[in-house]
Amino acid sequence: MYDFQYARPANIVEARAALSGSNEAVLMAGGQTLIPTLKQRLRKPSVVVDLGSVRNLGEVQIMKDKIMIGAMATHANVAASPILAKRLPALAALAGGIGDPHVRARGTIGGSIANADPAADYPAAVVALNADIVTDRRTTAADSFFKGLFETTLARDEIVTSIHIKVPEKAAYAKFPNPASRFALVGVFVAKFKDNVRVAVTGAGPSVFRLPDMEKALAQSFTPDALVDIAVSPDRLNSDIHAAADYRAHLIGVMARRAVAACG
């Protein structure tokens, strides 16, 4: 690691001030991505701003027809939340399948979506659930939040504070995990609302994306059989040592049907 200063603000105002003090300052939520990159000397920040002591950023609350999840809620918090167990068990199950107990104890939902790893689980959930990403300065729909490989609409000094999620009638997530990392080779989150169906895919491409053809078919008939004849093109999908693009294209269909079946 390179030398850096360490700041541990108590609130968002202090965090914003610590970030604004240097163009090379970085935020740390759970540190599950930042710390490995620091160890490998892939990043050289002047200041690391740790959000671990910022108050009221880890709560899960009901807000009318939405659920508010604080950005510093750990994967373990999300998995164990009684609110999510009752209102949105698909998201709790997703969180419970991330990484291992250590990762789930430290990693956070806000850090995950801000990092925008192409194989992370949460991006598929927040896009399929038509969530709003709330920061210290604005609210952005999940559909427009993710821009590409490790790229979002966030400014360098912008802080994710919470995620507001609409509660669907039914939802489920199906993932084909890398057996070592538990990241998604392909993960598909399906959410059925009163007036539409949303299907979001992670792990298969450079960033999370939706499948309009599947959404239309499921809006007509919300059954796994409705997806049998829908093929996904391997063009622009990831191809690496873990899985070729055409295999990922096949897995998208399999995981989508499993997710619909899991909805009951």
Tens of pLDDT, residue by residue over 235-252, are 999 999 999 999 999 999
Chain segment 19-46, per-residue pLDDT in tens: 998 899 999 999 999 999 999 999 999 9
Region label for 195, one of left (φ > 0), alpha (ψ between -120 and 50) or beta (otherwise): alpha
Sign of CA dihedral 211, 213, 216, 219: negative
The pLDDT, as a whole number, for residue 21 is: 85
* Domain harbouring 16, CATH code: 3.30.43.10
pLDDT given for residue 1 in this prediction: 76
Q: How confident is the model at residue 128 (pLDDT cuts 50, 70, 90)?
A: very high
Sole residue written with tokens 């200063």: 5
Query: Which of the listed residues 16, 33, 53 is the one where a domain comes to its end?
Result: 53
Residue 184, burial from CB neighbour count under 10 angstroms (0-12, 13-18, 19+): buried
On the question of pLDDT at 175 being above 90, the answer is yes
Residue 188, φ and ψ in degrees, nearest 5: -125, 125
pLDDT digits (tens, 9 = 90+) for 137-166: 999 999 999 999 999 999 999 999 999 999
- The predicted model scores a pTM of 0.96
Asked if 120 and 103 count as a contact pair (C-beta separation under 8 A), the reply is no
Residues 120 and 168 in one domain: yes
At residue 66, the pLDDT reads 95
Q: Is the pLDDT of residue 64 over 90?
A: no
Site of tokens 């994967």 = 75
Q: Are residues 99 and 158 in the same domain?
A: yes
What is the C-alpha end-to-end distance of the chain, expressed in Å?
A: 49
Are 192 and 150 part of one and the same domain? yes
Q: d(Cα 145, Cα 35) in Å, to the nearest integer? A: 24
* 64 plus 43 within the same structural domain: no
Cα separation of 79 and 46, whole Å? Answer: 34
The total domain count for the chain is 2
pLDDT at 65: 84
DSSP 8-state symbol, 74? B
Over residues 170-181, mean pLDDT:
96
- The answer to whether residues 70 and 38 belong to one domain is no
Q: Could you tell me if 104 and 23 lie in one domain?
A: no
Q: CATH number of the domain that 215 lies in? A: 3.30.465.10
Query: In this predicted model, what pLDDT tens digit does every residue of 207-232 receive, in sequence order?
Result: 999 999 999 999 999 999 999 999 99
Q: Are strands 132-135 and 160-166 parallel, antiparallel or unpaired?
A: antiparallel
CB 139 within 8 A of CB 162: no
Q: Determine what percent of the chain is predicted with pLDDT higher than 70.
A: 100
Instruction: Provide the domain limits for residue 158.
Output: 60-262
- Asked whether residue 148 falls in the same domain as residue 32, the answer is no
Distance (Å, rounded) from C-alpha 128 to C-alpha 74? 20
Same domain membership, residue 183 and residue 124? yes
77 and 46, same structural domain? no
| 79 and 171, same domain (yes or no) | yes
What CA–CA distance (Å, rounded) separates 250 from 248? 5
Residue 264, pLDDT score = 84
Please report, to the nearest 10 degrees, the dihedral formed by the alpha carbons of residues 128, 90, 244, 241 taken in order. 120
Average pLDDT, the chain: 96
Q: Are residues 104 and 25 in the same domain?
A: no
> What average pLDDT does this structure show over 89-102?
97
Verify that 40 and 72 share a domain, yes or no: no
